[in-house]
Structures are given as structure tokens and as C-alpha cells.
DNA sequence: CTATTTGTTTATCC
DNA sequence: AGGATAAACAAATA
């Protein structure tokens, strides 16, 4: 379930690998997680190297190892990173070991992606990402221009486009629409300037607040959010007490509060 | 057995 | 050309 805050959390789970030279690497070369690369390269290149630093951008992660090795990780739909016993996990697809400790990438559905580069500089695919939602460059004006370009799509679908909203996924998009009191099915062009400005504000607040709970220790957001109610059968809007509605919007199941969101 | 899943890429159609 | 939409990917769970 990794979106912005979950990705921030999972990236931190490998922080304890920092400064520990990798002794052994285990993986399945056939795994779909390695599409576009030769997984055997990891077996040759990773042992002996040390994690120096890491960063995230939206749902993307980049781990920088000694002597210019970069490991890119995307968690897809069901990926996770953790420190623990890799042998106990039937879906472990990459296990880095040192002493008796394992750092594991696990992903049952294999929609995630691992990539490796050897280069002094950060790999080229890492550069040229759109501005992070919480950065200075992500201005109201910038967001409005994108909404105009995507004016014929439902606002829910627009929020899921990583080219403008890096890190936003299904639950965050629903949360932002709910807080902004906007019906997720509405086309982007139907939003007034006032509504866009509420959307902009709530978008940034959801990112900030999700990073402060899920991003820190995976604590669920409180019951005052849509989050804990949206998948529950018979779930009720915390604002109105009315039963939440669920419907497919732009190919994704979407949850909203009928009277509350217009 | 069927439908569903918090993501992305590709094909197809407009 | 650029944009919208649906399907595909894999495997668990209800």
C-alpha cells in the first residue's frame, strides 16, 4: 500500500544498513521486479559495498552505495522494505545480508521495480522529477496549469498522475477530495478558483500530516480522517454520519461522502 | 469460482 | 499530437 508516507517509512527501514558492508546477496533472477535489467549484476556488484545515504521522491527511492553504486526501488502495489529474516518470507525478492542480519525487499505481486546503476553521479532516471508537493516550487499556479491541461479528466484521476502529484495514490487522492469537499467524479475544469485553492491547501496538509504519522512509525491516521472508514463495509463519513459511497472512477475504486462532497 | 486490491505501463481510440 | 480510457501485469484474500 505504498504512497508518499508509506514509502518514506519503508525507506527508513533500511537506514540500519548504513555503514554495514554487504556480505551476501540473495535473489530470484526470474523475478519480474528486475524487468529491464540483469539481476545477476546485483549478485556481482553489491557484496562488499556499503550504504552511504538514501532519498525518496514521491513513490521512488534511491539508495546510494559506496563507489558509485545506486539502487533504485519502487514498491509497486505490495512491496515492502524491512530489516528481518529474509528466509521466513516467501515473497522476499532481494535479501542483503551482513553477519546475522538481513535487509529484505519483499513484494508478492511483483509490480515493484528494482534497478541498479554504477555511476559517479546520481543515475539519469532520478533527475528531472517534477517538484515535490511539499516543495517551494509546487505552487498554486503550477498546480492550476496542470489542472487546465487535464481539464477533461475527473479530478480524482488527475490527482493520481505522478507527473504532477508525485507520491499521491488511491487513498491520499480520496482523502484530499474529501477534505476539500469536492466530488471526485467532477472534471478538473469544473472546479472554481476557490475550490482549487482549497484543494491545494488540503493536498499539502494531507501530505504533511500523513508523513508525521505513517511516515514516522506507520501509525494509522486518526478516526477524524476518511482513511480508517473508506474500506469498511457500511463505513460512515466522520463529518456527516452518512454512509460512504464507493464507485469506480477512472479505473480505481473511489470512496466519498455523498452530501459532504459536491 | 468470482471479484477485489493503496501502481504503472502499454495499446487503442478520439 | 496530445490526451483519455481500458487492459495487462501476479498473487493473495474475501
Question: Is the minimum distance from the CB of A175 to strand B below 7 Å?
Answer: no
Q: What is the CB neighbour count within 10 angstroms for residue A88?
A: 9
pLDDT digits (tens, 9 = 90+) for A17-35: 999 999 999 999 999 999 9
Q: Which of A149, A179, A174 is nearest to A160 (CA)?
A: A174
Distance of A262 CA from C5 C1′ (whole Å): 24
A157 nearest nt, CA–C1':
C4
Q: Which of A122, A65, A121 is nearest to A96 (CA)?
A: A65
A80 has pLDDT over 80: yes
Q: Which long-range contacts (CB under 8 A, 24 or more apart) does A142-149 make?
A: A143/A196, A143/A199, A143/A200, A143/A203, A144/A196, A147/A188, A147/A189, A147/A191, A147/A196, A148/A188, A148/A189
Residue A70 and residue A15 in contact, taking contact as beta carbons nearer than 8 Å: no
pLDDT digits (tens, 9 = 90+) for A170-224: 999 999 999 999 999 999 999 999 999 999 999 999 999 999 999 999 999 999 9
Distance of A151 CA from C2 C1′ (whole Å): 13
A145 has pLDDT over 90: yes
Mean pLDDT of A226-249: 93
pTM comes to: 0.96
Distance of A150 CA from C3 C1′ (whole Å): 8
Q: Name the closest residue (CA) to the C1' of nucleotide C4.
A: A153
Residue A237 and residue A227 in contact, taking contact as beta carbons nearer than 8 Å: no
Mean pLDDT of A135-146: 97
Whole-angstrom Cα distance, residue A99 to residue A80? Answer: 22
Residue with cell 498546480: A143
Set of cell numbers at residue A227 = 482513511
Name the pLDDT band for A87 (thresholds 50, 70, 90): confident
Enumerate residues near strand C (beta carbon within 7 A): A 32, 77, 90, 108-111, 149-154, 157, 250-251
pLDDT digits (tens, 9 = 90+) for A101-124: 999 999 999 999 999 999 999 999
Question: Is the minimum distance from the CB of A235 to strand B below 7 Å?
Answer: no
Strand partners, A65: A51, A69
Q: Name the closest residue (CA) to the C1' of nucleotide C7.
A: A251
Start-to-end CA span in chain A (Å): 28
Residue A109 and residue A76 in contact, taking contact as beta carbons nearer than 8 Å: yes
Mean pLDDT of A242-251: 93
Nucleotides of C under 7 A from a protein CB: 2-7, 9-12
Set of cell numbers at residue A235 = 463505513
Amino acid at each position: 500500500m505504498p504512497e508518499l508516507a508509506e514509502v518514506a517509512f519503508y525507506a527508513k527501514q533500511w537506514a540500519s544498513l548504513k555503514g554495514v558492508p554487504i556480505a551476501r546477496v540473495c535473489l530470484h533472477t526470474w523475478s519480474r521486479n528486475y524487468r529491464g535489467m540483469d539481476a545477476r549484476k546485483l549478485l556481482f556488484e553489491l557484496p562488499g559495498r556499503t550504504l552511504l545515504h538514501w532519498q525518496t521522491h514521491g513513490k521512488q527511492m534511491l539508495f546510494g552505495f559506496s563507489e558509485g553504486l545506486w539502487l533504485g526501488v519502487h514498491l509497486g502495489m505490495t512491496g515492502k522494505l524491512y530489516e528481518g529474516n529474509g528466509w521466513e518470507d516467501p515473497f522476499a525478492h532481494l535479501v542483503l545480508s551482513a553477519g546475522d542480519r538481513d535487509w529484505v525487499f519483499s513484494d508478492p505481486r511483483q509490480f515493484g521495480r528494482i534497478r541498479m546503476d554504477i555511476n559517479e553521479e546520481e543515475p539519469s532516471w532520478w533527475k528531472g522529477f517534477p517538484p515535490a508537493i511539499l516543495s517551494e516550487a509546487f505552487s498554486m499556479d503550477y498546480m492550476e496549469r496542470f489542472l487546465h491541461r487535464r481539464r477533461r479528466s475527473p479530478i480524482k484521476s488527475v490527482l493520481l498522475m505522478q507527473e504532477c502529484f508525485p507520491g499521491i495514490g488511491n487513498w491520499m487522492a480520496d482523502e484530499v477530495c474529501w477534505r476539500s469537499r469536492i466530488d471526485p467524479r467532477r472534471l478538473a475544469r469544473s472546479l472554481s478558483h476557490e475550490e482549487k485553492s482549497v484543494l491545494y491547501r488540503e493536498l499539502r496538509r494531507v501530505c504533511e500530516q500523513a508523513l508525521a504519522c505513517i511516515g514516522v512509525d506507520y501509525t494509522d491516521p486518526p478516526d477524524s480522517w476518511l482513511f480508517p472508514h473508506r474500506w469498511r463495509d457500511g463505513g460512515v463519513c466522520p463529518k456527516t454520519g452518512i454512509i460512504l459511497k464507493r464507485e469506480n472512477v477512472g479505473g480505481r475504486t473511489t470512496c466519498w461522502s455523498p452530501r459532504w462532497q459536491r
